[in-house]
Amino acid sequence: MKVLILGSGGREHALAWAVKRSQRVTEVVCAPGNGGIAQVARCVPVDLKDVAAMVRLAEVEQPSLTIVGPELPLSLGVVDAFRERGYRIFGPTRDAARLESSKAFAKQFMKRHQIPTANYAVCTSPKEVEESIKHFHAPIVVKADGLAAGKGVIICPTRHFAVETAQGLFNGELLGSVEHQVVIEEFLEGEELSFLCLTDGLHVAPLVPAQDHKRIGEGDTGPNTGGMGVYSTSQMLEPTMTEWILHHIAEPTVRGMAEEGMPFTGVLYCGLMMTARGPEVLEYNARFGDPETQAILVRLESDLVDALEACIDGRLAETEMQWSSSASACVVTSSSGYPGSYKTGLPISGLSNAAKVPEVEIFHSGTTRVANQLVTSGGRVLGATASGDSLEEALTRAYEALSQIHFEGMYYRHDIGHRALKQERR
């Protein structure tokens, strides 16, 4: 098989790494890829905002299977276009991807199908925001309706700040693009959990759970990012809680989408808050998470390609994935200034030494090769992903690997998994 992966980040590097391990795969092509992905796949250029360009690439490459990494091509309908031409592609249609591409649609969908989530209001003007906000206690969560690369959720300490934030989303000052709808939401307290499932539109198969760290600063402070680190262990969820989430959240979501004429196939990412009243959905994603994918896939012992093809063919119920009982962690290193403005083109050193640390994979998020030198090309640059018998061992290895790497302004959090580590040490 030749497998085509669309995307250019750490998630796509991890997917390429996992796909390459399949005995059925003879070649992996990644478009557009990055400097690190080029070590495990043939990288070719493509504009991920241009569905016609991605179709032309498929016509040239003739892949046996295409995997869509990021949300933008899904929201533009790349799956619909590939399917129309007979190409096998893993991911939801444009309509089904609305679970991620529209926060308002997702909240209204959850309400229709009694899926537990925070109280909310969908507003189409600053005046509506002012009216709705009277029904919420601070802190208040304000969300951009559309795709915002992990930066469209703002936790506001006061009602006044929430009104100003919503105004900034409506006029385009906050994200650089004008929002026509804004979601005002009740602030939920608890532990966040990333619960990802594969689905063929009817059946659901959970992946191992993970916990992302979205804030830029130590102790979960500062603005939201695309994710600064993640960990995954077998102890994160009791089997009874996994079953509860499947029966009350994941399965009703898949069933509801089918009932509404938008069958969802691919990866359903349920971003959950484990509150005192039970798990509640913070958000849906319609694709593999980043950096969750890195930590999850290093625990996968069975063939990823087999599972993805089972989703396309509607036979997921016959497929069983095998997982390692070991813990895993991914620590992301970013450019100074991220998630704001940052420099690119900075030389990276020490990667070969980092790769020598046992049970470590370095997945590249934002790198490119200039002449013979890998340099930075994004806000999130690398993810040191490690496995271990315990979470502490996995994190120790990840941080040891990062200590070998250097580029100007390199930044990473030193407290990934800190809450779970305290429990593990008890």
Scanning the structure block, which residue is given the tokens 């206690």?
137
Residue written as tokens 């591409």?
Answer: 101
The dihedrals phi and psi of 287, each to the nearest 5 degrees, come to -160, 175
Q: What pLDDT is recorded for position 421?
A: 83
* Rounded-to-integer distance, Cα 371 and Cα 402, Å: 24
**66: β partners:** 4, 89
Residue 127: enclosing H or E segment and its boundaries?
helix 126-132
Contact 298, 233 (CB under 8 A): no
Reduce the DSSP state of residue 406 to 3 states and report it: strand
Domain 119-186 has what CATH class?
Answer: alpha beta
Q: Which two tokens stand for residue 275?
A: 């509150």
* 280-309 pLDDT, tens digit each: 999 999 999 999 999 999 999 999 999 999
pLDDT digits 0-9 by tens, 107-128: 999 999 999 999 999 999 999 9
Q: What is the bridge-based pairing of β-strands 229-232 and 153-156?
A: unpaired
Domain ranges of the chain: 2-91, 119-186, 191-318, 327-425
Question: By the 8 A CB rule, do 410 and 350 touch?
Answer: no
Q: Which option is the CATH number for 2-91: 3.40.50.20, 3.10.310.40, 3.40.50.720, 3.10.20.600?
A: 3.40.50.20
Q: How far apart are CA 176 and CA 256, in angstroms?
A: 33
Q: Does domain 191-318 have CATH number 3.30.1490.100?
A: no
The predicted structure's pLDDT at residue 426: 67
pLDDT attached to residue 150: 66
* Cα–Cα distance, 417 to 184 (Å, whole number): 29
CB-side exposure of 423: number of CA atoms within 13 Å? 7
pLDDT of residue 223: 86
Q: Which of 235, 149, 141, 237 is nearest to 197 (CA)?
A: 237
Compute the distance between CA of residue 288 and CA of residue 102 in angstroms, rounded to an integer. Answer: 17
Q: How far apart are CA 322 and CA 299, in angstroms?
A: 9
184 pairs with which residues across the strands?
121, 142
Number of other residues whose CB lies within 10 A of the CB of residue 96: 26
Under-70 pLDDT residues of the chain: 149-150, 426
Q: Is 258 exposed, middle or buried (0-12, 13-18, 19+ CB in 10 A)?
A: middle
pLDDT value at residue 174: 83
For 327-425, which CATH superfamily applies? Phosphoribosylglycinamide synthetase, C-terminal domain (3.90.600.10)
Per-position b or e across 185-219, b if 16+ CB within 10 A of its CB = bbebeeebbbbbbbbbbebbbbbbbbbbbbbbeee
For residue 176, what pLDDT is reported? 84
pLDDT of residue 199: 98
Whether 287 and 154 have beta carbons less than 8 Å apart is answered as no
- Bridge partners (DSSP) of residue 191 are 274
Q: Measuring CA to CA, which residue among 393, 417, 210 is closest to residue 331?
A: 417
Sign of CA dihedral 210, 216, 218, 222: negative
With 0-12 / 13-18 / 19 or more C-beta atoms within 10 angstroms meaning exposed / middle / buried, residue 380 is buried
DSSP reduced 3-state for 352: helix
